[in-house]
Structure 1
């Protein structure tokens, strides 16, 4: 299960970060500029970092996988092709960009890699306020 979430999260993080644009008269903004897709993928990535670094919090795997599939479906509904979505999630540049955004969020919310317990504090706060991140997590 953990491996599935990690793979799914990687795909989503990459999806959320691509700067690719469809060609022709139907030019769409890059997927990274579609806030519902971008913000959703960022939340999944942050939730994944919290669960990997906090032993007292786990992922709601099925919820996370279903959420990611929903984001991919929404991207298709917005007119993005499978090839565009795939190119987005395979982009190393966009993966790095999304990782940097996630790290900035963690830091802004008091998380320090030198203090592993800080991941738990943030995770518990996200769960308590029922944020999107919190909805993807579960206290053990």
Structure 2
């Protein structure tokens, strides 16, 4: 029995390096969170009756950085990802597509308000970042 446990333990140890971390731009929670932040930012800048809940936004950003570090990503890797023009453009395009699919129409602030109000009402991550003055 001890021999079996030792063999399993060694096998698990040898297999561990094969379980490499996925690139940051493929980590679902991180990307979903950053996309939600971008969507919320566009809504608050476009809709005159919606603003950001800045303390919540700041808190979620800090939580997200800690999440990445806890998963084993290096601080410089996280910073480089967050500053990458390529990644910013990718997330911007994804956020724009989400807003369009949700009914936001460029040049129509009220359509962004409607999307924002719906996100708040549904209690989504985007909605948790926003406050309505209605």
Same fold (TM over 0.5): yes
Q: How does the TM-score come out when normalised to structure 1?
A: 0.80
d(CA) in 2 for partners of 1:90 and 1:137? 24
d(CA) in 1 for partners of 2:83 and 2:51? 26
SS at match of 1:114: coil
After superposition, give the CA deviation of every residue in 1:47-69 in whole Å (9 maximum; x if it has no partner).
Answer: 11100000100100000110011
After superposition, give the CA deviation of every residue in 1:94-136 in whole Å (9 maximum; x if it has no partner).
Answer: 1110000000000001101121111100000111111111111
**Post-superposition, which runs of at least 4 consecutive aligned residues in structure 1 deviate over 3 A?**
24-27
| Correspondences of 1:1-140 after superposition (within 5 Å) | 27-140=20-133
Q: Which runs of 5+ in 2 are unaligned?
A: 1-16
Q: Output the aligned Cα RMSD.
A: 1.4
Q: Which runs of 5+ in 1 are unaligned?
A: 1-23
d(CA) in 1 for partners of 2:125 and 2:79? 24
How many residues get paired? 117
Q: Which has the higher helix share?
A: 2
